[in-house]
A and B are shown apart, each in its own frame.
Chain A
Amino acid sequence: MTDTADRPGAPAPTPHYVNPAPWDPYVSEKLTAEQEKYYMAGQWKLMWWRFRRHRPAVVSAVFLILMYLSTAISEWIAPYDLHTRHVKYIFAPPQSIHFFHEGEFLGPFVYGFKMERDLDTLQRVYTEDHTKPQPLRFFCRGEPYEFWGAIPGSFHFVCPAEGGTMFLLGTDRLGRDMFSRIVYAARISLTIGVIGIVLSFTLALILGGLAGYYGGWVDMVVQRITEILQSFPHLPLWLALSAALPVTWSPLLIYFGITLILALLDWPGLGRAVRSKLLSLREEDYAMAAQLMGAKPGRIIGRHLLPGFMSHLIASATLSIPSMILAETALSFLGLGLRPPITSWGVLLNEATDINVVAVNWWLMLPVVPVILVILAYQFMGDGMRDAADPYA
């Protein structure tokens, strides 16, 4: 810098001060690190941030994740097997957990039962036997099982004392432990909603996609079908369809049959959403550009149009999972759904059909509790997801 001034013929040094530091032309639009992160974040990241702000939705999501995780290890959680009968303990009431025996701390334990018959009503009357506490065992070897029907094992998180019993939620008419049955039934009840929604989602994408993209007579036919299916009350149709499943089918086939039936009546709502979105999106310039470049319809729909509203679809699909779980519960409750030995919460509730039995053995109604909790959780989570689905709003 200094030597230029000494050289002959060089322009005279500028009379005002020039900052030698490099100049950033965007200085006025400088973002803080936080803003930068926000503006650079992808669509899914933004949705996640927005979802996280919705407290009830997050709590519900955690609850649901825990529930689904528990279905993976039902064998460890349940102290008994799904089908173990305790002939000596039929319609036994719930055993409550105690900590103090005659003023002395023993850790968690239960008292055994003494059964007598009421000679007037012929009902079994169980009284707690306060002489012998039965301490519970934790991380123990208990009743043997086959993990997911394949690997034999006998590990449980909690087992009754040797020779003792532990019916935390009572037993049913065959002396089967209700708690264990509810734990196992979660496996069926929770998966049926998810499998059903996957089927219905696929149907909706294919049929709604075809209708929305092609229009014309395809659209006409799909529209009429959805109208009829949506206007007709679902439950009577579900009943008719599941009554049509042959009695000779194995319980597993029935399970898939019921899932399919649920999906068959569920897709129209989603299908309509797909159709109307596609109808508006296919007019966009980028869709036209893709078409001019020779992309095939499948690619245009799958690659260019669908990602634009996938988040909405997932949110509304989540909101219809609870109705599927409920439908299965209702069908099984009416005796037209799943059949034993496949056990869902609805199948358990089927035992509570006779009010005279329930009036004496109230714990038969307990499977209602997980049903309501799961449905509430899905509803809150679905609401949160729907709000988060449009992060640019």
Chain B
Amino acid sequence: MLHYVARRLLLMIPTLFVISALVYVIIDMPPGDCVTSQIDELLSRGDPDALRRADELRTLYGLDQSLVARYFDWVTGIFRWDFGLSCQDTVPVKDLIGERLALTILMESSTIAFIWIVSFIIGVYAATHQYQVGDYVASFIGFVGLAVPNFLLAIVLLYVGKVYFGLSIGGLMDPEFIDKPMSWDKLVSIGQHLIIPVIVIGTSGTAGMIRRLRANLLDELQKQYVTTGRAKGLPPLKLLIKYPLRHAINPFVADIGNLLPEVISGSVIVSVVLSLPTTGPMLLGALKTQDVNLAATFLLFVAVLTVIGMLVSDLLLAMLDPRIRFGATSEK
């Protein structure tokens, strides 16, 4: 087991290196750099110093160096917890991202918890009540959830909230808490504002999960050991929890690998729509202004989050499923 974890951790390092290099190069690819637009603005105002200032800024950001040198600086800086300077306002990247990263992780983990809890309840209900009204309702919700893209749902909810309830559901906390230190009231306020984004990001994941859990559980429920248990006179609820559910829950955990990228993608676009103070809007802005250090740091962070999530899901799966724990690789 320890050996397995160590191997997985080692494999993470080259993967992250490849991703970081790729991302850095891609963001830097288009012609021009983040200084260009700032200088154009100065030039259009007729600032005589503009060109000199451009050179100054370029030296400051290291843009006069080659791409390889800049990438190297950035990557080695990461180990010192230094992500370079952001082009916006010349602030170190680490000062910009701290709270946003924390809120993003909070939002994404609550979304996954939401997906699990809701799809678990609905999935089990739909499977045990096959072809009844509840099952059809659940399937229908599932289909709609898959079809309605989450950012459209976000717009519609924003509209409904604004027009019919006079609520502004954007943001992640009440305005009076912004830039305040963490307190109990602030935490409560964040919790209230998290509800809508979590539901919006979670719907499509929940829909997929319900379908899979229902199908798996239905397969298990038809097997002979269930009939045996029933014939022995086991109470139905105990029978369900003790045997078929343990089987059916397995892909549930394994699916986190598919779920996590989906949730992260969803959170980026939904937080742009709802203007949440998470990484999404800032990443979008950084990409548009070619703020290489900032954007690359966000993307690397996303990659780290995904890779760690995958690792956790594999470990959970190994704990849950003896067949994997004891290395029976033939059964897959």
One of B15-23, B92-100, B122-130, B181-189 at the interface: B15-23
By the criterion CB–CB under 8 Å, are B159 and A244 in contact? no
Number of A residues whose C-beta is below 8 Å from B?
A: 40
Selected contact of A240 from candidates B162, B262, B269, B295, CB within 8 Å: B295
Given A334-B272, A365-B155, A376-B147, check contact A228 B15 (CB 8 Å). yes
Shortest Cβ gap from B169 to chain A (Å): 9
B:244-298 near A, CB below 8 Å: 257, 260-262, 264-266, 268-269, 272-273, 283-284, 287-288, 290, 295, 298
Seen from chain B, the residues whose Cβ lies within 8 Å of a Cβ on chain A are 15, 18-19, 23, 26-27, 29-31, 143-144, 146-149, 151-152, 155-156, 158-159, 162-163, 170, 257, 260-262, 264-266, 268-269, 272-273, 283-284, 287-288, 290, 295, 298-299, 302-303, 306-307, 310
- Most chain-B Cβ atoms within 10 A of its Cβ — which of A243, A322, A375? A243
By the criterion CB–CB under 8 Å, are A352 and B155 in contact? yes
Shortest Cβ gap from B107 to chain A (Å): 14
By the criterion CB–CB under 8 Å, are B30 and A244 in contact? yes
State in angstroms the CA–CA spacing of A365 and B152 once bound together: 9
Selected contact of B159 from candidates A234, A241, A365, CB within 8 Å: A365
Q: Does A169 contact B (CB under 8 A)?
A: no
By the criterion CB–CB under 8 Å, are B268 and A231 in contact? no
With a CB–CB cut-off of 8 A, which chain B residues contact A334?
A: 269, 272, 284
Shortest Cβ gap from A193 to chain B (Å): 13
State in angstroms the CA–CA spacing of A15 and B298 once bound together: 100
State in angstroms the CA–CA spacing of A246 and B287 once bound together: 13
State in angstroms the CA–CA spacing of A245 and B26 once bound together: 10
A:219-241 near B, CB below 8 Å: 228, 230-237, 239-241
With a CB–CB cut-off of 8 A, which chain A residues contact B170?
A: 355
State in angstroms the CA–CA spacing of A352 and B273 once bound together: 10
Shortest Cβ gap from A236 to chain B (Å): 6
By the criterion CB–CB under 8 Å, are A329 and B149 in contact? yes
Selected contact of B149 from candidates A234, A352, A355, A375, CB within 8 Å: A375
Selected contact of A376 from candidates B26, B143, B310, CB within 8 Å: B143
State in angstroms the CA–CA spacing of A228 and B17 once bound together: 12
With a CB–CB cut-off of 8 A, which chain A residues contact B303?
A: 232
By the criterion CB–CB under 8 Å, are B30 and A246 in contact? yes
By the criterion CB–CB under 8 Å, are A244 and B27 in contact? yes
Shortest Cβ gap from B48 to chain A (Å): 27
State in angstroms the CA–CA spacing of A334 and B307 once bound together: 26
By the criterion CB–CB under 8 Å, are A330 and B269 in contact? yes
Shortest Cβ gap from B279 to chain A (Å): 9
By the criterion CB–CB under 8 Å, are A240 and B19 in contact? no
Nearest A residue to B264 by beta-carbon distance?
Answer: A233
State in angstroms the CA–CA spacing of A299 and B97 once bound together: 54
By the criterion CB–CB under 8 Å, are B268 and A236 in contact? yes
Q: Does A206 contact B (CB under 8 A)?
A: no
* Contact code string A362-393 (vs B, CB < 8 Å = 1, else 0): 10010010011001100100000000000000
State in angstroms the CA–CA spacing of A365 and B159 once bound together: 9
By the criterion CB–CB under 8 Å, are A379 and B27 in contact? no
State in angstroms the CA–CA spacing of A53 and B298 once bound together: 49
In the complex, besides A236-B264, A240-B299, A333-B151, 6 extra interface pairs with C-beta distance below 8 angstroms are: A244-B30, A334-B284, A355-B170, A365-B159, A372-B148, A376-B143
State in angstroms the CA–CA spacing of A379 and B302 once bound together: 29
Q: Does A336 contact B (CB under 8 A)?
A: yes
With a CB–CB cut-off of 8 A, which chain B residues contact A69?
A: none
